[in-house]
Amino acid sequence: MSAGSPPVEARGLVKRYGHVLAVDGVDLTVSTGDIYGYLGPNGAGKTTSLRMLLGLITPTAGVAKLFGRDPMVMGRRALEGVAGFVEAPRFYPYLTGRKNLELLAAFDGGDAASLIDEMLEAVDLADRQRDRVGTYSHGMKQRLGIAASLIRRPRLLILDEPNTGLDPAGMRDMKVLIRRLASEGITVLLSSHQMADVEELCNRVAIINRGRILYEGQVATLKQSLGTWYTVRTSDPEAAERVGLRLGLDDVARGGDELRFGASEETVERFVAELIREGIGVRALVPQQATLEDLFFQLTEPGGHQPLAPLPGLEAVT
Amino acid sequence: MPGVLTAYAWELRKLVHQKRTFLGLGAALAVPLIFVTALTLQGGSPNDVAFGKYVRESGLAIPLVLLLFASIWLFPLVTALVAGDIIAAEDHNGTLKTIFTRSLDRGHIFAGKALAALTYAAAALFLMGSVAVVAGSLKSGFNSLVSLSGDRVSAPHALGLVAASFAVYLIPIASVVAIGLLLSALTRNSAAAVVGTLMTALLMQLIGILPGLGSLQPYLLTTQFSAWQGFFQTPTDWTPIIRAVWVCALYGLPCLLGAYLIFLRRDVSGG
């Protein structure tokens, strides 16, 4: 391992299957301590990228390194300190949950076997450890996958849709677990469709679509770039809308007694003053921060950038 | 540090937990029992095969007759049941990605699988041989045996020759294992690999009996299943045994190498 090498560094990763370009020049850098969200619609190239990182598939071009080690060059030695799963974790259905972990611990060597009991407790599978995995629910297999990853004592944990199949309580527990692992110094690369969870958990994100990275950076920076929009409830929405358009508010949409728009703070100030001057009652003014989901859809939906979606029941007027 | 032995030990444990394992072992156990039962219930002997006419004189002739019968389809099938499945089942279960992201090299995992498949075939062969010797001796007695040269061989010596014969029988079995592994890695489908391995063995038997292809017979894999008969010549005829070694190597090693390279280099894009 090179001193100071980031847990994940991918440069120009390409994977082509015949005429299909699954991953097209992906660059990723996950730094130590990151909880890094990897977002993209189905078929965007997330899982293919993760498989290349783990050395499961050979890149057509480019290089992926884990702690400075290339799995294509160093084989399993590149995976030291790395654990996780891509898509659903898979196990031998005819073996018990415990036997599966014992097998994987034997394949890992070291003290992995001594962690089995602790990890089965941690993922709440201690009671079912003697049952065959073939009888497990999807969520239980998901939790067994986490346990299988943690017995490696990873410094980098790669999780592909870890919430799939989990009930709400399971999802909550997963978030708690990821936070705890991060607080213990484990770097987490998390692929997920749960935008709210990624926004809540991750400090950095990459958004991929059609094999290409569309955004990579800090979540906070990303949200700032989207700006803020407002919802105002007034006594005369039609008149308020006319005032708003006159003042050049962005993306004005009206529905019921509410008006939604984007504007700078100075423009909002002028807009409210104007409403009052014209005798229009302002009942509520609510600022709303753009969410990761907003950006995700702006970047990944066909047609490129789209204005922020109107609230249910609102009609775009610009 | 985990290595080949780790993979081998776990492959054996996995086999113990799978039903198909006991299908082959059950067949290896049942065939000699059925044969001896049939001998008990019916008159006559299988005189058209080597040692067939001695099955009522010496129980030690029975495992040798069974070796000849089993080479037609039983042992290719028993061997293929595991060798054809042992890699393809990982594809079916989607577990390659699980084990390829641990600390064990792909090469070690492959070696563990190959050894486990060979061990299984050897265990089935040992089981059939042991049961055949015991059941045969109970039926026809632990008596001396007439060799293929017409000499009478004492019972203890004949038992040693039977054991050596079973050991030599393992040579073509190892090649069938290699073919099974190759088809398992290539097709990623258990059923296709098992049937393909069996069909390969049957095809070679067919070639062996086709008119005009008699000159190929000594070099067919299936012919090597009879190499053990050299032990029952006086003096011992090593020619078929030595030929079995190199002919089987010609079939088995390229298949093993091919399976190894496929396993080593393949993309794990499913599961």
Question: What are the chain A neighbours of B99 within 8 Å (beta carbons)?
Answer: 104, 107
In whole angstroms, give the CA distance from residue A216 to residue A194.
17
The pLDDT value recorded for residue A17 is: 92
Confidence bin at A312 (pLDDT 50/70/90): very low
Rounded (5°) CA angle A166-A167-A169? 110
Instruction: Tokens for B6, please give them.
Output: 């780790």
Closest in B10, B17, B268 to A94, CB measured: B17
- pLDDT tens readout for residues A24-69: 999 999 999 999 999 988 889 999 999 999 999 999 999 999 999 9
> Cβ of B105 and A75 within 8 Å?
yes
Would residue B100 count as lying in a domain? Answer: yes
Closest in A93, A103, A108 to B103, CB measured: A108
The pLDDT value recorded for residue A305 is: 43
State the average pLDDT over residues B193-210.
92
> Cβ of B10 and A76 within 8 Å?
no
- Cα distances (Å, whole numbers) of residue A201 to A19, A40, A190, A269: 37, 17, 9, 34
State CA A281 to chain mean position distance: 42
To the nearest 10°, report the CA torsion of B107, B250, B175, A94. Answer: 30
- pLDDT tens readout for residues B131-146: 999 999 999 999 999 9
Return mean pLDDT, chain A.
Answer: 88
The parent domain of residue B78 ranges over 4-265
Q: Would the pLDDT of B88 be above 80?
A: yes
The pLDDT value recorded for residue A2 is: 54
Q: Would the pLDDT of A308 be above 70?
A: no
The more confident residue out of A171 and B6 is: B6
The pLDDT value recorded for residue A302 is: 61
Question: What are the chain B neighbours of A96 within 8 Å (beta carbons)?
Answer: none
- Residue A91's closest chain B neighbor by CA? B95
Return mean pLDDT, chain B.
Answer: 94
Confidence bin at A306 (pLDDT 50/70/90): very low
Interface test with A, best of B103, B105, B266 (most A CBs within 10 A): B103
Instruction: Compute the nearest-CA separation of A102 from chain B (Å).
Output: 9
> Cβ of B17 and A93 within 8 Å?
no
> Cβ of A108 and B105 within 8 Å?
no
Instruction: Compute the nearest-CA separation of A10 from chain B (Å).
Output: 18
Question: What are the chain A neighbours of B98 within 8 Å (beta carbons)?
Answer: 85, 89-91, 104, 148
The pLDDT value recorded for residue A31 is: 95
- Cα distances (Å, whole numbers) of residue B212 to A177, B199, B216: 72, 21, 9
- pLDDT tens readout for residues B101-155: 999 999 999 999 999 999 999 999 999 999 999 999 999 999 999 999 999 999 9
Instruction: Compute the nearest-CA separation of B135 from chain A (Å).
Output: 34
- pLDDT tens readout for residues A207-238: 999 999 988 988 888 777 766 788 999 999 99
- Number of Cβ within a 10 Å radius of residue A271: 24
Would residue B73 count as lying in a domain? Answer: yes
- Cα distances (Å, whole numbers) of residue B117 to A36, B129, B174, B206: 43, 18, 9, 26
B105 at interface of A, judged by CB pairs closer than 8 A: yes
B262 at interface of A, judged by CB pairs closer than 8 A: no
Would residue B270 count as lying in a domain? Answer: no
Q: Would the pLDDT of A82 be above 50?
A: yes
Contact assessment for residue B60 and residue B164, using Cβ atoms and an 8 Å cutoff: no
- pLDDT tens readout for residues B228-243: 999 999 999 999 999 9
Q: Would the pLDDT of A307 be above 60?
A: no
Identify the structural domains of chain A with CATH numbers, from first to last: 8-223 (3.40.50.300), 227-316 (3.30.70.980)
pTM: 0.87
The pLDDT value recorded for residue A170 is: 84
The pLDDT value recorded for residue A4 is: 79
Lowest-pLDDT choice from A3-7, A81-85, A230-234, B88-92: A3-7
- pLDDT tens readout for residues A238-276: 999 999 999 988 888 888 888 988 888 889 999 999 999
> Cβ of B98 and A99 within 8 Å?
no
- Residue A266's φ and ψ, nearest 5 degrees, are -65, -40
> Cβ of A76 and B2 within 8 Å?
no
The pLDDT value recorded for residue B1 is: 79
Would residue B97 count as lying in a domain? Answer: yes
> Cβ of B2 and A75 within 8 Å?
no
Q: Would the pLDDT of A304 be above 50?
A: no
Closest in A55, A57, A109 to B2, CB measured: A109
In whole angstroms, give the CA distance from residue A200 to residue A44.
22
Report helix, strand or coil for B235. Answer: coil
Would residue B188 count as lying in a domain? Answer: yes
The pLDDT value recorded for residue B146 is: 94
B269 at interface of A, judged by CB pairs closer than 8 A: yes
Q: How far apart are the first and last CA of chain A?
A: 56
Closest in B1, B106, B265 to A109, CB measured: B1
Closest in A80, A83, A92 to B95, CB measured: A92
> Cβ of B103 and A80 within 8 Å?
yes
Q: Would the pLDDT of A315 be above 70?
A: no
Question: What are the chain A neighbours of B18 within 8 Å (beta carbons)?
Answer: 94
In whole angstroms, give the CA distance from residue B80 to residue B86.
10
Percent with pLDDT over 70 in chain A? 93
Would residue B154 count as lying in a domain? Answer: yes
B4 at interface of A, judged by CB pairs closer than 8 A: no
Percent with pLDDT over 90 in chain B? 87
Would residue B55 count as lying in a domain? Answer: yes
Instruction: Compute the nearest-CA separation of B210 from chain A (Å).
Output: 43
> Cβ of A106 and B17 within 8 Å?
no
Please list, in sequence order, all residues whose beta carbon lies within 8 angstroms of the beta carbon of residue B121, skipping any fewer than 6 positions away: B75, B78, B79, B82, B83, B170, B173, B174, B176, B177
Would residue B271 count as lying in a domain? Answer: no
Q: Would the pLDDT of A197 be above 70?
A: yes
The more confident residue out of A304 and A4 is: A4
> Cβ of B104 and A76 within 8 Å?
yes
Q: Provide the number of structural domains found in chain B.
A: 1
Q: Would the pLDDT of B157 be above 60?
A: yes
- pLDDT tens readout for residues B53-81: 999 999 999 999 999 999 888 999 999 99
- Please classify residue B11 by burial: count the beta carbons closer than 10 Å to its beta carbon, then call 0-12 exposed, 13-18 middle and 19+ buried: buried
Report helix, strand or coil for A26. Answer: strand
Instruction: Compute the nearest-CA separation of A168 from chain B (Å).
Output: 25
Rounded (5°) CA angle A112-B112-B246? 165
The pLDDT value recorded for residue A318 is: 35
